[in-house]
């Protein structure tokens, strides 16, 4: 178990180094940052001085090492556009994105799993068919369209929910939360629904197909032959066996939700990292883009690590055998 964790951690470090390299390359080779900083008028001496100051005359690997060291310390440089430390900018935006993403993931799981179980157990009921038809909409409509449609209905026509922003937030140190005010919660509804819809339908369809698969297995038939109650068979035996693939996909999806909150945040002008990223792309604000890339990579790595550990919890076959299978 410990060996497994250590191995996974080492792998994670390698992945992070690779991501760091890509974002470093982005930083270094998309245009000349010195030219961008100096603006229109400068002398040759000014240019060379800035290159020396920034350490850009040093060999490539020294620069990369410096980049990694400062990134580990949370130093990502100064935003070109806002002239403020990138780390500070991201720290301000992070709570908004995380709250939105977590809310969307939570919605997707708490609604998607029961719907999947229901449609798996009651294959032929009209409600199952209805869910499946609706889920096609969730899978096939692009996020921005769903967001705009929701705004049209709930913000413009019914006027019950705000169409943009985060509402009032409460500060806890550096963390700002919208969970504690009515306007904050109201503002969260539309973006969270928009963001979760795709994941929800995906999880529902996944749970459904896994349930159908598991319900055909011998151990489920045998559990029924043992006279166990339906609830015990369906939830105790069947659902638990569907969890490994569901955890895998959900884990990847949470990473995806954070990364692709970009679209939703743009539609709803949600003041999170995604919106920051889009604005940075528009202004070629490379330090912010590089930091964002690193951060999203980091989230994916952490989530994958958690997913791997959850496998261990769920499936005893992956745990190290205490007593190997005995003879006959």
Partner 1 sequence: MAEAPILEVKNLRVEFPTRRGTLVAVDDISFSIAPGEVLGVVGESGAGKSMTGAAVIGLIEPPGRIAGGSISLAGRRIDDLPYEEMRKVRGREIGAIFQDPLTSLNPLYTIGRQITETILTHLPVSPAEAQQRAIGLLREVGIPAAEKRIDHYPHQFSGGMRQRVVIALALAANPKLIIADEPTTALDVSIQAQIIALIKKLCCEHGAAVMLVTHDMGVIAETADRVAVMYAGRIAEIGPVRDVIKAARHPYTDGLMASIPKVGRTDARLAQIDGAMPRLNAIPRGCAFNPRCTKAFDRCRAERPEPMRVGNSDVACWLYDAGQGGTR
> Contact residues for partner 1 (CB under 8 A)?
217-219, 221-230, 232, 236-237, 240-241, 314-317, 321-328
Between the alpha carbon of residue 65 and those of residues 10, 58, 62, 292, the distances in Å are 18, 11, 5, 19
Nearest distance, CB of residue 320 and partner 1, angstroms? 11
Q: Which is nearer to partner 1, 141 or 228 (CB)?
A: 228
Nearest distance, CB of residue 206 and partner 1, angstroms? 18
298 CB neighbour count, 10 Å cutoff: 16
Nearest distance, CB of residue 2 and partner 1, angstroms? 21
Nearest distance, CB of residue 307 and partner 1, angstroms? 17
Strand partners, 171: 176
Crossing angle of helices 182-215/240-267, nearest 10°? 140
Q: Which is nearer to partner 1, 5 or 232 (CB)?
A: 232
Nearest distance, CB of residue 241 and partner 1, angstroms? 6
CB burial string 308-319: b at 16+ within 10 A, e below = bebbeeeeeeee
Q: Which is nearer to partner 1, 150 or 215 (CB)?
A: 215
Give dist(CA 279, CA 163) in Å, integer: 20
CB burial string 97-131: b at 16+ within 10 A, e below = bbbbbebbbebbbebbbebbbbbbbeeeeeebeeb
Nearest distance, CB of residue 229 and partner 1, angstroms? 7
Three-state DSSP string of 300-315: HHHHHHHHHHHHHHHC
Between the alpha carbon of residue 33 and those of residues 26, 27, 286, 289, 314, the distances in Å are 11, 8, 9, 13, 49
Nearest distance, CB of residue 288 and partner 1, angstroms? 45
Give dist(CA 48, CA 289) in Å, integer: 26
Strand segments (E) across the chain? 170-172, 175-177
Q: Which is nearer to partner 1, 173 or 323 (CB)?
A: 323
Nearest distance, CB of residue 213 and partner 1, angstroms? 13
Give dist(CA 312, CA 302) in Å, integer: 16
């Amino acid at each position: 178990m410990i060996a497994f964790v250590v191995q996974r951690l080492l792998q994670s470090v390698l992945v992070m180094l690779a991501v760091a390299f890509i974002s470093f390359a982005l930083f270094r080779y998309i245009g000349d940052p010195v030219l961008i900083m100096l603006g229109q008028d400068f002398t040759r001496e000014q240019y060379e001085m800035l290159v020396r100051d920034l350490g850009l005359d040093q060999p490539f690997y020294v620069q990369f090492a410096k980049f990694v060291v400062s990134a580990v310390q949370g130093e990502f440089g100064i935003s070109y556009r806002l002239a403020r430390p990138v780390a500070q900018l991201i720290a301000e935006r992070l709570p908004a994105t995380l709250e939105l993403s977590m809310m969307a993931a939570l919605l997707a799981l708490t609604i998607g799993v029961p719907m999947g179980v229901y449609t798996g157990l009651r294959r032929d009921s009209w409600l199952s068919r209805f869910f499946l038809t609706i889920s096609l909409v969730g899978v096939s409509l692009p996020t921005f369209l769903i967001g705009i449609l929701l705004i049209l209905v709930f913000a413009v026509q019914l006027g019950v929910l705000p169409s943009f922003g985060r509402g009032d937030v409460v500060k806890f140190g550096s963390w700002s939360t919208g969970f504690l005010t009515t306007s904050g919660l109201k503002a969260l509804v539309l973006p969270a629904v928009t963001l979760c819809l795709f994941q929800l339908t995906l999880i529902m369809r996944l749970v459904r197909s896994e349930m159908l698969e598991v319900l055909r297995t011998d151990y489920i038939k045998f559990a029924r032959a043992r006279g166990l109650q339906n609830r015990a068979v369906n939830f105790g035996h069947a659902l638990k066996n569907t969890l490994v693939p569901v955890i895998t996909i959900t884990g990847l999806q949470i990473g995806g939700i954070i990364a692709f909150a970009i679209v939703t945040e743009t539609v709803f002008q949600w003041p999170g990292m995604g919106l920051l990223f889009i604005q940075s792309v528009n202004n070629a604000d490379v330090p912010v883009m590089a930091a964002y890339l690193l951060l999203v990579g980091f989230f994916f790595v952490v989530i994958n690590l958690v997913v791997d550990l959850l496998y261990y919890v769920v499936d005893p076959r992956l745990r190290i055998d205490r007593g190997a299978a005995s003879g006959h």
